[in-house]
Structure 1
Amino acid sequence: MKNKYLKGAHLSERKFKEILRLFAEDLTATQIANISGVSRVTVNSYLKKIRQQIARHCEALQPLESGHRSQAVRNVHHSTEETAVKTDAGRNIRPVVFGIYRSFDRLHTEILPDVSRSMIHSVIRSNRSVLETQNVAERIRRFSNVADLGQYRLYNLENDGAIAVADDVDAFWGLTKHRLAKFKGLNRSTVYLHLKECEFRYNNRNEDIYETLLELLKEQPLSLS
């Protein structure tokens, strides 16, 4: 079936565009399945493909200086681990921490698998010695903020940060908290994709998300293989 946005599709282009429009409106997979008449399993499969393409797009826009990310970070979204990201009640679960920084007019995010809650608190207390011994000081200094998804807390690492940047980050964090909270717990295998989706939606907040996605998928079609 011919579909210029999805290679090897068993779904018409018209139906796929309907799903894409509903995704752009930020509906859940269940809502999209009910409205489109496509099974939830199929919808979930397509949404994962869309989010993977969004993540690749966001990665391509990251400044070159962030290209030294560790293999552990690059593999976060390829993980098959199904442990849910829990709130503070599950303290035995290592929290998912990510950094936020601004480059020109865009915000970028990076999951920090080797940064713990205690390290964040050390930064807040200006106790750099702990960080220096664990070789993460330089990496953390690149970020204006870090967020702990286990507690849904945002930490400011720049006491003298510009108000415009702070307002930008606060607006992004508000969007991210709202979007991730509605899932009532995320699998670690999908956290990265949802985070990059939040990044994409925020950076394109003044654009028509549906049209932006159409253009992206026209240039870089999805593949079911």
Structure 2
Amino acid sequence: MKNKFLKGAHLSERKFKEILKLFSEDLTATQIANISGVSRVTINSYLKKIRMQIVRYCESLQPESTANAASWVSRGYDHGHHDHDTAVAVKTDVDRIVRPVIFGIYKLEQKVFTEILPDVSRSMIQAIARGRSVLETVGNAERIRRFNGVVDLGQYRLYHIGNGHHDADAGKAMLDDVDGFWGLTKHRLAKFKGLNRNTAYLHLKECEFRYNYRNEDLYATLINLLKTFPLNLS
């Protein structure tokens, strides 16, 4: 069936655009399935591919190296292990034996960017947030300090690292964006009541995309993205 947005699709282009419209309105997979009349399994498959394309687009704009983030996606999707990985809670009662998902947030040229930090521990970000020097011996201090905020998803907590600006107004605007992004992300992730470790990055980048284009027509933005970079079911 011909569909310029989705190669190899078994759905019409009209039906796919309906699904994309519902996705842009931030409905859940269950809600989209119920409204569109398409099976939940098919919706989940399409949403995963849409999110993967959003990840690639966001990474193409990101000025810093995303080697850690890219490997995170590869482990979860390119090798097919995501169905059986440990779930990561996003509430404060997270099990202590589960390594929390920690990610950094920074703003550059009016956009907010995020990066998963798999080798950064909870104790490290707590130490640097308190101004302690213990991170100097670990070797991660400079890398962490380039972020304006770091989030411990297990504790559902944002740590402000610094605004990196001598200009008070610019620093305030930066922190406002960090807080605004975390507010959006916290609200969106709460509805999942827990995330697979490998889907966390997909949802994080989706939040990044939604925040950076919050003042635009998200559906039109997604249509333009998928016209340029169509999905492929194979």
> TM-score, length-normalised on structure 1?
0.94
Structure 1, residues 139-160: CA drift from partner, whole Å, max 9, x if none? 1011010011101100101167
Rounded to whole Å, the distance in 2 between the matches of 1:4 and 1:166 is 40
Q: 2:163·2:174 contact (CA, 8 Å) conserved in 1?
A: no
Runs of 4+ more than 3 Å apart:
none
Rounded to whole Å, the distance in 2 between the matches of 1:133 and 1:218 is 48
Q: 1:76 aligns to what?
A: 72
Moved more, 86-95 or 135-144: 86-95
Question: Using a 3 Å threshold, how does the CA distance of structure 1 residues 135 and 73 change in structure 2: closer, same or farther?
Answer: farther
The answer as to 2:166 corresponding to 1:157 is no
CA displacement at 1:134 relative to structure 2? 2.0
Match of 1:207 among 205, 209, 216: 216
Q: 2:163·2:172 contact (CA, 8 Å) conserved in 1?
A: no
Identity level (%): 68
Q: 1:88·1:151 contact (CA, 8 Å) conserved in 2?
A: yes
Q: 2:42 aligns to what?
A: 42
What amino acid sits opposite 2:150 in the alignment?
V
Q: Secondary structure at the match of 1:107?
A: strand
Q: Which runs of 5+ in 2 are unaligned?
A: 166-170
CA displacement at 1:75 relative to structure 2? 1.4
Q: 1:110 aligns to what?
A: 115
Rounded to whole Å, the distance in 1 between the matches of 2:131 and 2:70 is 29
Match of 2:142 among 134, 138, 141: 138
CA displacement at 1:176 relative to structure 2? 0.2
Q: 1:88 aligns to what?
A: 92
CA displacement at 1:36 relative to structure 2? 0.3
Moved more, 177-186 or 133-142: 133-142
What amino acid sits opposite 2:33 in the alignment?
A
The answer as to 2:191 corresponding to 1:186 is no
> TM-score, length-normalised on structure 2?
0.91
Residue correspondences, number: 220
Rounded to whole Å, the distance in 2 between the matches of 1:192 and 1:124 is 23
The answer as to 2:217 corresponding to 1:217 is no
Q: 2:24·2:218 contact (CA, 8 Å) conserved in 1?
A: yes
Structure 1, residues 155-204: CA drift from partner, whole Å, max 9, x if none? 10116751111111111111000000001101011000000000000000
Rounded to whole Å, the distance in 1 between the matches of 2:44 and 2:233 is 13
Rounded to whole Å, the distance in 2 between the matches of 1:159 and 1:221 is 38
Q: 1:77·1:191 contact (CA, 8 Å) conserved in 2?
A: no
Q: Map of 1:14-33 to 2, 5 A cutoff?
A: 14-33=14-33
Q: Which runs of 5+ in 1 are unaligned?
A: none
Q: 1:126 aligns to what?
A: 131
Q: 2:163·2:175 contact (CA, 8 Å) conserved in 1?
A: no
Rounded to whole Å, the distance in 1 between the matches of 2:163 and 2:182 is 18
Q: Secondary structure at the match of 1:189?
A: coil
Rounded to whole Å, the distance in 2 between the matches of 1:8 and 1:116 is 42
